[in-house]
């Protein structure tokens, strides 16, 4: 049995049926229906397509499934595993949607960078207030240095695009020996404090794990250039938010582009809302009109592999969380 817990279009369901013609497929995409009926199907389900990152009640249900062998999650990040370490002990494969949003998120990063470099966020405020203001703090991206913390699908695509802007690319990743043609140098996490002072742009594209949670705090922010910017499109808790607020208020760094936060939605009382050197977007960097098409492409390929007994793609290391 395949249990689908996200909303899909008819042609997506047709593709799933074509990839697994003999399977029983159950769709519970309405939250109320899911809450009422999921317990009925969990004992028999073998494969689940779901979004455990968004609905944190689902993993507890997954753990009750005696026949469950594989979860295809809708998102790339699997930080929900931090809350359910017992999942790592189960005979259970988890695959993610890594790569489906490499294009939109890398473009979102560049949008942040262009806006901050040309002080567009202040111009928008001036436009709203009908103010003609030609005094702006601007810079050029050409020739500047970008530090990418995380070189997965999003980091790689961002590095590729930044190379087209004649930028110097420094990467920080768990396995620095895994080189990329787009980075000038790749370092392990232990070298982060040496990379930050060299960087004009610090871009966080790493997954949220036990190692990355809170990795950017006061010490790291003070190590950055005063004219440097930080951008986070990954997970909010990677940055210690109070330290970031202090850094922005006291001028340790020039500004920030933030799509993710420690608490979401970002509380009304957060000082980040009113900072002129900050651009805020509401955790939508990965949204794009082709997301589900790309996701179903991964899922159907894995369905064919699963039925044939072949290794799946996009497999998550349950202990590392990505």
Domain ranges of the chain: 2-100+288-308, 102-280
Is the pLDDT score of 88 beyond 90? no
Note the pLDDT tens digit of each residue in 13-51: 999 999 999 999 999 999 999 999 999 999 999 999 999
Pick the CATH number of 102-280 from 2.60.40.10, 3.40.50.720, 3.30.70.260, 2.40.128.90: 3.40.50.720
**pLDDT above 90 covers what percent of the chain?**
92
Q: Whole-angstrom Cα distance, residue 110 to residue 6?
A: 30
- Active-site option among 191, 283, 294, 304: 283
Q: Report DSSP state, residue 44.
A: T
Q: Whole-angstrom Cα distance, residue 81 to residue 235?
A: 14
Per CATH, 2-100+288-308 and 102-280 having the same topology is answered yes
pLDDT-derived band at 291, boundaries 50, 70, 90: very high
Q: Are strands 93-95 and 47-50 parallel, antiparallel or unpaired?
A: unpaired
Catalytic, 17? Answer no
Catalytic, 122? Answer no
Contacts of 177 (CB under 8 A, 6+ apart): none
Residue recorded with tokens 């990467």: 171
Q: Whole-angstrom Cα distance, residue 133 to residue 135?
A: 6
User: Is 2-100+288-308 a domain of CATH 3.40.50.620?
Assistant: no
Angle at 237 between CA 267 and CA 229, to 5 degrees: 85
- Active-site option among 33, 250, 264, 276: 264
Question: What was the pLDDT predicted at 57?
Answer: 84
- Is this prediction's pTM over 0.75? yes
pLDDT-derived band at 139, boundaries 50, 70, 90: very high
Contacts of 117 (CB under 8 A, 6+ apart): 138, 139, 140, 141
Q: What is the largest CA-CA distance in the chain?
A: 66
Assess contact for 191 and 166: CB atoms under 8 A.
Answer: no
Catalytic, 301? Answer no
Assess contact for 123 and 136: CB atoms under 8 A.
Answer: yes
**Paired residues of 198 in beta bridges:** none
- Active-site option among 12, 53, 173, 235: 235
Note the pLDDT tens digit of each residue in 42-79: 999 999 999 998 887 899 999 999 999 999 999 998 98
pLDDT-derived band at 179, boundaries 50, 70, 90: confident
pLDDT-derived band at 263, boundaries 50, 70, 90: very high
Q: Whole-angstrom Cα distance, residue 256 to residue 275?
A: 10
Mean local confidence (pLDDT), 86-100: 93
3 state SS of 280: strand
């Amino acid at each position: 049995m395949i249990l689908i817990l996200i909303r899909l279009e008819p042609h997506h369901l047709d593709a799933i049926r074509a990839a697994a013609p003999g399977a029983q497929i159950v769709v519970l995409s309405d939250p109320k229906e899911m809450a009422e009926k999921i317990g009925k199907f969990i004992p028999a389900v073998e494969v689940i397509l779901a979004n455990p990152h968004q609905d944190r009640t689902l993993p507890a249900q997954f753990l009750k499934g005696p026949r469950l062998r594989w979860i295809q999650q809708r998102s790339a990040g699997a930080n929900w595993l931090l809350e359910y370490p017992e999942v790592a002990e189960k005979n259970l494969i988890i695959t993610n949607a890594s790569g489906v949003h490499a294009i939109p998120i890398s473009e979102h990063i560049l949008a942040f960078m262009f806006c901050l470099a040309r002080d567009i966020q202040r111009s928008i405020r001036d436009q709203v207030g009908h103010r003609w203001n030609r005094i702006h703090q601007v810079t050029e991206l050409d020739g500047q240095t970008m530090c990418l913390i995380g070189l997965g699908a999003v980091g790689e695509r961002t590095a590729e695009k930044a190379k087209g802007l004649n930028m110097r690319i420094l990467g920080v990743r768990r396995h620095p020996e895994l080189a990329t043609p787009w980075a000038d140098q790749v370092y392990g996490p232990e070298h982060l404090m040496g990379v930050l002072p060299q960087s004009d742009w610090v871009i966080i594209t790493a997954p949220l794990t036990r190692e990355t949670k809170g990795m950017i705090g006061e010490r790291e922010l003070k190590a950055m250039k005063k004219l440097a910017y930080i951008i986070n499109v990954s997970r909010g808790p990677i940055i210690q938010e109070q330290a970031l607020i202090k850094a922005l208020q006291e001028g340790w760094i020039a500004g920030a582009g933030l799509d993710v936060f420690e608490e979401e939605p970002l509380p009304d009382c957060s000082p980040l809302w009113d900072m002129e050197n900050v651009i805020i977007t509401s955790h939508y960097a990965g949204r794009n009109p082709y997301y589900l098409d790309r996701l179903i492409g991964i899922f159907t390929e894995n369905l064919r592999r699963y039925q044939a007994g072949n290794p799946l793609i996009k497999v998550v290391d349950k202990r590392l969380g990505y």
